[in-house]
């Protein structure tokens, strides 16, 4: 089997509004956003912002690894994803 497969599976992406390959960066991004959107708000904020003063990589959160701008983009995408999921089909 070639890597990636010649004919990768396709799935509907809420964020893209169309089918995308499960091997695509679009799908990878949507999976991350869906995972974060489905977290309880407190846990999501901890995951995004981290634990203040921590030096542990996991406890620093996404902000401590990717930076504030990346977290701001993620928050905007989480809001957009939630709005699209609430919208009638």
1 in a structural domain: no
Integer Cα distance of 45 and 32 in angstroms: 14
71 in a structural domain: yes
Statement: residue 76 has pLDDT above 70: yes
- pLDDT, residue 29, reads 97
Query: Against a cut of 0.75, is the pTM above it?
Result: yes
20 in a structural domain: yes
- pLDDT, residue 83, reads 96
Mean pLDDT of 39-47: 95
Statement: residue 2 has pLDDT above 80: no
55 in a structural domain: yes
Please state the three-class secondary structure of the chain as a single string.
CCCCCCCCCEEEECCCCEEEECCCHHHHHHHHHHHHHCCCHHHHHHHHHCCCCCCCHHHHHHHHHHCHHHHHHHHHHHHHHHHHHHCCC
2 in a structural domain: no
62 in a structural domain: yes
List, in order, residues 6 or more apart from 71 with CB less than 8 Å away: 48, 49, 61, 62, 63
List, in order, residues 6 or more apart from 23 with CB less than 8 Å away: 4, 5, 8
Q: In terms of residue numbers, what domain contains 81?
A: 10-86
The number of domains in the chain is 1
Q: What is the pLDDT of residues 7-42, one digit of tens each?
A: 889 999 999 999 999 999 999 999 999 999 999 999
65 in a structural domain: yes
């Amino acid at each position: 089997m070639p890597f990636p497969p010649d004919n990768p599976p396709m799935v509907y992406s809420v964020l893209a509004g169309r089918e995308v390959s499960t091997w695509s960066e679009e799908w990878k991004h949507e999976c991350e956003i869906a995972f974060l959107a489905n977290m309880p708000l407190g846990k999501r904020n901890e995951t995004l912002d981290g634990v203040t003063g921590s030096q542990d990589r996991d406890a620093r959160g996404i902000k401590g690894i990717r930076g504030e701008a990346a977290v701001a983009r993620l928050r905007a995408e989480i809001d957009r994803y939630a709005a699209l999921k609430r919208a009638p089909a």
